Structure formats: structure tokens, C-alpha cells
Amino acid sequence: MSEKKSYGAAQIKVLEGLEGVRKRPAMYIGGTSKDGLHHLVFEVVDNSIDECLAGFCTIIEIIINKDGSMTVKDNGRGIPVDKHPVYKKPALEIALTKLHAGGKFEKTAYEISGGLHGVGVSVVNALSKKLIAKVKRDGKVYQQEYKIGKPIYAMKIIGKCKKEEHGTEITFYPDTDIFSTIEFDFNFLKKRFQEIAFLNPNVKIVLKDLKNGKQEMLHYAGGLIEFVQHINKSKQVLHKPIYFRKQVDSCVVEVAIQYTDSYNENIFGFVNTINTTEGGTHISGFKTALTRAVNDYAKKKGILKSGSLSGDDVREGITAIVSLKLKEPQFEGQTKTKLGNSEVKGYVDSMVSVALSEFLEENPSVSNKIAQKASASSKAREAAKKARDLVRRKSVVGFSGLPGKLADCSSKKMEKTELYIVEGDSAGGSAKMARNKEFQAILPLKGKILNVEKSNPTRALSSEEIINLITAMGTGVKENFNLQKLRYSKIIIMTDADVDGQHITTLLLTFFFRYVPELIENGNMYIAVSPLYRVRKGKDTYVYSDDELKKLLAKLGGKADVQRFKGLGEMNAQQLWDTTMNPKTRILKKVNIEDAVLADETFSMLMGDVVGPRRKFIETNANIAEVDI
């Protein structure tokens, strides 16, 4: 092993202790609910991935154990076990008990790393009631155990292994005093590790759930090409994926691009396998280069007679993965959702410009499809602009400038107000009578709104129901979106608790995800949960599921008076207020985007034209579906 690649105690640098992690866990892992719990796993796995990036690890095992603990095993070099030159303790103990202690601060150990903050495994230790670390190095197996971040005993040798065996195994038990849930979700973990496997074609990730007998091997030799194909499996694609890899100094850029016949743009950025959900300089550089390359080609071939294609025109229907490997990424915050390195924009712009221009020249059949689609998008965008102008013009007509069917609230304090979107005039009438007029507004819609997944922006923005919805919210859509103009703090979808109601909810969510995703990201979107049954025995009890009904009837015993609500319109105003609209008693589901890649894939599959994946989804989930008769 070269001197540059050496990884021992001297490469472990310590910046500070663990004080404050348990007091303010949200600062380090984002929260103490499901997301924060799973962030612990990601922090440990990030260390294994860093070993992959360094060229030493090929297999990672992630195991949900029967006792509720989590184990992460890899065949990397193993955390160093020799004594630290300054702290005179084994490097393993330093890495697990000191905040900002790790090999990432000493550039000779890792050239490229995702876990640059160095807080990962020590924070996991601090937030675990118990953690066991095992290391295989130099023919020996070392172990140390910790309780709430403190060693129970000194590191010891517990056995021997083959000289060529090496790696780290971390088993941790999340602290129930910190987390609201300690149940690990197999599917939630799978989504993240699937991304990692796509981005690292040389690694095999084995995910096991010993509690429920599940196991998945995640390995994609095709890398980014397979990743793009996976995202687009429910869409009509225009060509095979375009792929290139370029390097300038130590900065490596990998890009995969594939256009579909959809109207949506999907660009996903990763830096050292970290999903930069808020983008950053690498995405800015990619977009600039893409716009320039397609414009140059379209003008040169006479596809574009005058003017220029906008970035939106060029990106319509694109699915792209931009994966960056960088020595010293500067992320915004510990959650690492945005890249800040200013020099990266130029690197990516330059590399993508050269590679994409070469591809477009050498592949005219694909290039013409891309340029023609962008040109058609430009014309449609002009028509859509006229439709948006029409929305604005309509909004200034009349006394309030708001849709005629909107029953607005009296309060003008946005932070207190709510907009209920309800289906049909019957439900709208009940909701108007039930509401608190001071802060609750009601907008009834005529039946099912347009499926925007299958409609171009011009048609979507010409739909009366969608115009009414946009005007009521006040924000505008797409490039005209302005969060400051939002008129309500909560936008609540309230539909019947039947199949039709669920379909309308899905259509509305498709609209919000495709046209105003910022409202979901900002936490303004909710779904009202209306009751399925009213049970009367002495007093009224409202029930929200069949399981809940069975339990209640068993508890009450004897004959029950059970009313099944087929729709919101069947409830009188008092019942609707008590069950679904009263902030003190209602149940609201907050809508969030856990995984943009999965959300895009799901909406395309459920609402798009390709039947195969939808049929498979229905067959897979039929056994857990509730049938409404």
C-alpha cells in the first residue's frame, strides 16, 4: 500500500468532544422521528461507502436484527486500532467517542469522501443505549462496547482471523429516550441503498431483515445507465441513455441522460454518493452546459430558425443523473442537501459541454429527437404563457379577484388560514356550513380534475378547475411560482373515503407535485382523514378503518348501530366539523417528498400511459388494498 493510502491512528484527527449531541440531536441527524432514526444507519453506511470510494470495500451488509438493533458490516480496511499519537488511546475509541474525529480530515487516508463532517459514527454512538464495534485487521478481531457513547471496557482482542480478512462491523441499539420510534423500515432503507448501489457499480449491498425474513441484494453493474432506465421504466423513452464520464484533476463527473415523451424535468444530483436534493453548483453547471449544447446543435442544423431555446425548453422530458466525485465538497449543513463549491460550476459546465457536443454531433438521430422536442416545447411554452396570462387576467376580474365558487375566510393572516379543496357541490355545501369562517376557506371542485401527467402545460393551465385552484392559492406555478404570495398556511385535500375519493386525491397530488412541488417541500400540503363509520351506543364514536371498527365492536359487545359514510355529503355540518375540520379533533396527514426519485417514478407509473408497471404494482399490492363495495 502506498504511503498516500496509509490509514492508521496518525490519520485520525480530533476536533471536539460529544457534548451537546444528546441535548440537540436534531442538529446532527435532522430529528428524532423515523427520519432521524434511519439517518443513524445512513451515517454508519456512509463510512463503508467511503471505503468503497477509496477502492477497498466491495461488500456491505445491513442487517435489521431480531432484537431491534442494527448491524452494518463491510470488508473495508477496518477502523484503525493502533494508539493515537496525541490521545494515547486506540483510534477506534477516538473515532467512536469524539465528535469530528475521523480519517476524512487527514487527506492522506481518503481522497474522496461523503462523510466530510466526521460526526457520523460518534453521533450514532452518543444516541445509542448500546453499541458494539468489531474490527478485523492484521489477523486479529478487535472489539469495544459502549453505552450512550462511553466505553464499557477498553478495546480488546476477541479472536483471530485470516491475514487477508479486514473490515468493520458496527451493531447499535437506538436509545428509546431519544427516538419516538425505534422500528427500522426495510423499504425505507432499500430506497436509499438502491441509490448507493446504482452510483457505485463495484459494490454489492446486502439488506437483511431478520425480524420479517426479508433479504435483497442490491448490485447494478450498469451504474448510472441502469439508474436512468430504472427511473424511466414507467415512461415512453425517446432513445437509449446517453452516458459519459470526464475528469479534471481530482474532480470526476459522471452523467447519464435520457429523454422521455413526458412534460416533466427530473435532474438528480449526487456528490460522493450523497443525494444533494437541493442541487447546488454541480447542477447549475450541468443545466448551463445542456442548454448551450442543445441550442448550438439546433441552430447549426436549422431546427431553430430564430431566437434561442430556454433552459426549461431544453429540460422538458429529461431524466438526468449528475454524479460528482470531489476531494473537498462544501455542503450546506450536516444534512448535505446542497453543494456550495463555486469552482465546481465551471468544471461541470466545461466537461458536460465538451462531452455532450461531441455526442450530439456523432449521433444525429438521437440529437434530432432532442432538438425537435425542445423546439416543440418552446412553442408550447409560449402558448402556456398565454394561458398563465389568462389566469392572471381572470384573477383581476370581479370584486375579490378570486374564483366564484371559493368561500373565502375572513382572516387575512396567512399563517392562520386554511384552504379545504373538496370534491363536488354536495360536499362543498356541507363543508361551508361546518367550517370556521374566520380561518377556513372552501373550494369545491367539479368531479375529477385533469390528469396533468398525460397533459401538456397548455392544456393543464387552460382547465377551469386548475385555473380556480391556482388563483385561490395565489402562488402561480412553475417558473412563476412565488411562495410569498401564498394565501393559506395549510392547503388541505378533503375527499370522500372511497375509491373515487382516493383517485381524486391522487390527481390533485399529481398536480401539486408536478406544478407546485415547493408547497409540499415547504410543508403546506395536507390530506384530511375522514371517518368511515359512526358507531352509536349511548354516544357517537367515529371510526377511521375496518380494523378499528372490529376492535370497537368487540369492546362494546352486544348489538351496535353502525353507519357507513359513503361520502362527506352524508355527514351533517356538526359531524363534519367534529371529525374532519375541527383542529382540536381532526386527523391530518402531512404530505412530504421523502424521495424525489421514487416520487417521480410512482406518479409516472400510476398516472402515465405505460400499463405494464401499473399492472405489476396493483398485483403486488392487491393483498393489502381495501376494497370498497
Residue 198 near residue 173 (C-beta atoms within 8 A): no
Q: Starting at the edge strand that comes first in sequence, how are the strands of the sheet with 525-528 ordered?
A: 440-445, 418-423, 490-494, 525-528, 588-590
Q: What one-character-per-residue DSSP string does 395-445 give?
A: HTSSSSSS-TT-B--S---GGG-EEEEEEHHHHHHHHHHHS-TTTEEEEEE
Q: Find cell 359487545 and name the residue.
A: 557
- Could you tell me the sign of the dihedral formed by the alpha carbons of 604, 609, 610, 615, in that order? positive
> For residue 1, what pLDDT is reported?
41
Q: What's the Cα-to-Cα distance from 292 to each of 81, 301, 352, 363, rounded to whole Å? A: 52, 14, 10, 17
Taking the C-alpha atoms of residue 74 and residue 62, their distance in angstroms, rounded to an integer, is: 9
Residue 472 near residue 419 (C-beta atoms within 8 A): yes
CA 511, 516, 517: angle at the middle one, nearest 5?
95
> For residue 110, what pLDDT is reported?
56
pTM higher than 0.85: no
Residue 148 near residue 1 (C-beta atoms within 8 A): no
Q: How many CA atoms, within 13 angstroms, populate the side-chain half-sphere of residue 91?
A: 19
Q: Catalogue the active-site residues.
A: 423, 496, 498, 500
> Which residues of the chain, if any, have pLDDT below 70?
1-5, 11-17, 19, 100-119, 333-336, 384-401, 558, 595, 609, 611, 614-629
pLDDT per residue over 61-96, tens digit each? 999 999 999 999 999 999 999 998 888 899 999 899
Residue 47 near residue 71 (C-beta atoms within 8 A): no
> For residue 109, what pLDDT is reported?
54
